[in-house]
Every structure is written in structure tokens, then in C-alpha cells.
Structure 1
């Protein structure tokens, strides 16, 4: 049996940690350019301006011992979510789909109920990053919708730039029970060496016990051509200190990561930055257990 979904105390877990645990990449994408709703992917992005599907990722998963992945929406459209759910139905490597809902629509609950009929629909993402004014996430209809999802404990991904963290903090105060994960450690400007106010704002975010953080998307916030692993280490360590080993998840952000690094480099850089005091329990939680608990997929661990 796996750990209780509500337990954050490793010492209280009765799992047999001598057994191999399911390893999960908690954040990656698939897309088909001909679908036409990926406006952010341009021909100048040569490394990723092409189609990516499960067959393209399989070798990288095998090489790194990754069993399952969480596929996250790459376009803020209902069609993109439908596309991913179709992929999940025919690919065992996909543990779950994080889709998109139009929270400004009076029909958002109908959208939710339609997607929820699919067992692989495990969450949705709020695209704060794409908002002209990040305070749009505080509009009454959005707050009402997120309070509904907080009430039922449904998982929510939050995507933002670090400059938008003040709005995210206001959101968490308005919806303190939100069961959410911060994508890409909130995208600090690693290339410029940004530390504050990101570090303090993340500390406040971590004070909300229902909020997790994905250690993902860091290489593309660094200098794409000249980043070094040691530049990421302080950001990784600070995030681990704040959220602890029980509220962090590994995510490759593949294939977006290919703009700056290979899948293997992303995995290796995170693994080598982990505290020397971390043992197999902490690593198993980071590389799978926490994602399965957050997205309510604990049955895959048994």
C-alpha cells in the first residue's frame, strides 16, 4: 500500500521502500503543429518547431528509468485538452492529463464534467503567464471557480512569471484551500541571476500547506547557450528548503527544455543538485511519489 494521500510525514508511511517505486515526470508536453492553436511556438524555435508525440519521448523515459508522465496542456483551448486525452487513451506511459478550462465561461463546470469522464483527466492549468494583467486571476468569476475546485480538492497547476507572484499571493489569500502546484518554480530570471523578491515570495507561497512546487522549466529561464548546472543549484536548494521533500515534483518540461538542454541533462542536473543528506525516500518522493499523491494517482504505486 502507498502512503496516505494526506500524510506528509515520511516516518508515518508503511510502504516497503526496498521495492522499486514508480518514477514520474510530472510535467511534459505533446503537440501537433497542424492543429493550429500553439501560437507561442514559432519557426525561430527550431528545436521545438515540429510535432512531438509519445513515441518521441519513449527512449528518454527508458534511459532515465521514468515509468509514467503527466502531460500538461500546451495551448489554452478545449481542443488541446481533447487531443491529449485521446493520446492518453492509447499510451500507457501517460499517467494523467493536466488540461485547460475556460474559467471565465459560465459553462466551465460543464467543461469540467465532460473532461472528468476520462480517467486520465487529473487537473487543469491556470495560465497566469498569458494574462496582460496578472490581477485578472483575481476576477470574481475566476475566484468563484477556484473556490469550487478547492472545495472538492481538485488539482490545479499555476503557471506564472516571477513578476506575477504578488497576484498569486493575493489569489492564495482569497482561496487558501487551493490544492495547487507552482509550475517551473515560478520562473525566476535565472539568466540575470534574479534572487529577490522571488526567494521571499516563494517562502510565503510555501506557507500554504496545500501548495506544491515543480522543479521544472529552469534551464529555459537560464542562458540557453551558456547555462551551467551550478547556476540552478541555489534555486533548487531554496525550493527544497521551503517546500520540503514532500511537496516537490520533478518535471522535465520536455520538449520545451530542448531549447536549452537535453532530457538527460535536465534529469542529471536536478539529481546532482539534491542535498547530500537526501536518501532514497526523499528521491522517490521527488521523482514520483509526490506527483502521484498530488494528482490522486496513488493506485499506480501499488
Structure 2
């Protein structure tokens, strides 16, 4: 049986102090979320495990997530954080990579006041180090930052990257442009994947309908194909707008009706295994 994965979720301890964006004014998120909280949802949807992704731009949080992974078998991989503008980024990466469950890192373009800084020579030079080593890299962007991201990919076309949350399209307004045209250009690069995740929080919180999501999913699947899309719940951030079950149901309803067992197996596990180079029974998965 194929391993089924939730390839994008988060854990945190509020008292660690890493998460300045989680405040008492956000009661849905202002508490601890740990593997024991996620386990019932994984079991309910026959998911064998998850990939936990950094939610704070600190090295300490990555260390914490790796320590969680040491203690919990459901965490199959950790996507950490490093700052490519930090002259010491390589030293931090080398330390993290020694952990067997460290599978890559995330660039948080979303939080950059000016996304064009990713086009600076120093950033591109640092990124190229990891591209040469085929390191999986998550790319967190808002839809208005897709143009700088496209320019970055054009300058480092060998990057093994995955665009998180469909590139955060403007689901609230239902707009398609320029998100659609930019994502279509990004999808031309065969080593770029897209996570079908984070949709419910881009819609009107708790007031969305299924129709809000269908066209965005249809377009991403058409752009990237069934072999380059990856399921992620974005739990617990999704709780701002929907429960875990609703997230799964929304995606399932929006998928192409002609999809069969093969396509679903790829979306819900095999593509994540290939992208993140997860190994099982000595098999090493590669992408083109």
C-alpha cells in the first residue's frame, strides 16, 4: 500500500516565544498544537504521517521541530528555516542536515516587505549552492509576489521547489489574473511542484463555499499535472476558517472527476515522497 501523507502542517508551543504572529487576539491558534492533537485526524483520513513545516523564522524553532520528530514516528520529515542573507547560513544548514528527518528548508518570501530582494546577487548565489545539491525548497509567497518568484526561478532553473498554498491566489475576490498567468509560467519548469494547501484561509473565513475553490484547483492541476501536486492540510492554521475534515473534503470535491486511484495516490503521498526524496525500503525517489 502507498504511504499517504499530509505534506504540510505545523506544530508549536506558544511558550517558546517564536511566534509573534500568534497572539491572544487569534484564539483559534493561540494554544499549543502537538503530534497528539493531529494524530486523530491522520487516522481518520488513513494518513500514515505528516511533513511538519517551520512557522517561525528562527533556527531555534527548526531545532524544536527536529526534536519533536525524534520522539514521534508520525513526523516523516521536517522542512526547516535558514536565512540565505545570513553569512552563516551554510553552517546552520550543515548542522540541520545531519538529522535524518531534516528534508529541506522554506524561503518565507511572504514576509519580505519587498520580494525583489530575492533577485539580489548574494541571495541567488546562496540559493545556487543548494540548487547544485538538489535540496528541496518550499517557496512561500503571496499572489502579488509571484513575478519576483518567476524571475528567481528563471535565474536558477534547476531549483527543486514547491510553491506552497497554490501561491496564495485571491480567493476572497475570485480574481484569476495575474495569478493564473504567472503560475502557468512557473509551472513550465518541470522541477517545480505546487501544494494544494492553504486554500480555506485565503477565502472568506468560515463563510466560504465549495465553488470558491473549484476553479483554482482545476487550473493548478491543469498547469502542473497529477505528478506535481501535493496535498497539505496547513493544520492548524486552517482552523481560522475550517476544520481538518472540511479541508480534505473541499479538496476532494474540487479534484477532476476522471481522476483514478493512481492520481489520488500521487497527490496524497507519492508526489511528496518524490519531491522531498523520502526513502522507504532503500528506494530513493527522483524527479526529472
TM-score for the superposition, normalised by structure 2: 0.96
Counterpart Cα distance in 1 of 2:246 and 2:149: 30
Give 1:199-218 correspondences, 5 Å limit.
Answer: 199-218=180-199
Residue matched to 1:106: 87
Offset of residue 155 of structure 1: 0.2
Give 1:4-153 correspondences, 5 Å limit.
Answer: 20-153=1-134
Offset of residue 151 of structure 1: 0.8
With a CA cutoff of 8 Å and minimum separation of 6, indicate the structure with the bigger relative contact order: 1
Residue matched to 1:188: 169
Q: Are the equivalent residues in 2 in contact too, given 1:292–1:300 (CA < 8 A)?
A: no
| 1:166 maps onto 2:147 in alignment | yes
Task: Pick from 142, 159, 173 the counterpart of residue 178 of structure 1.
Answer: 159
- Secondary structure, counterpart of 1:268 in structure 2: helix
Counterpart Cα distance in 2 of 1:262 and 1:208: 33
Q: RMSD in angstroms over aligned alpha carbons?
A: 1.1
Offset of residue 258 of structure 1: 0.3
Q: Are the equivalent residues in 2 in contact too, given 1:22–1:301 (CA < 8 A)?
A: no
Listed as ranges, the gaps of 5+ residues in structure 2 are 284-288
| 1:235 maps onto 2:188 in alignment | no
1:8-66 per-residue CA deviation (whole Å, 9 max, x = no partner) reads: xxxxxxxxxxxx21100010000011111111112121111111000000001100111
Offset of residue 273 of structure 1: 1.2
1:140-183 per-residue CA deviation (whole Å, 9 max, x = no partner) reads: 22111111111111000000100001100110111111000000
CA 1:195–1:296 in structure 2 vs 1: closer, same or farther (change >3 Å)? Answer: same
- Secondary structure, counterpart of 1:122 in structure 2: strand
- Secondary structure, counterpart of 2:204 in structure 1: coil
Counterpart Cα distance in 2 of 1:102 and 1:123: 13
Which contiguous aligned blocks of 4+ residues in structure 1 show a shift greater than 3 angstroms?
A: none
Offset of residue 300 of structure 1: 6.5
Counterpart Cα distance in 2 of 1:62 and 1:131: 37
Offset of residue 207 of structure 1: 0.2
Residue matched to 2:286: none
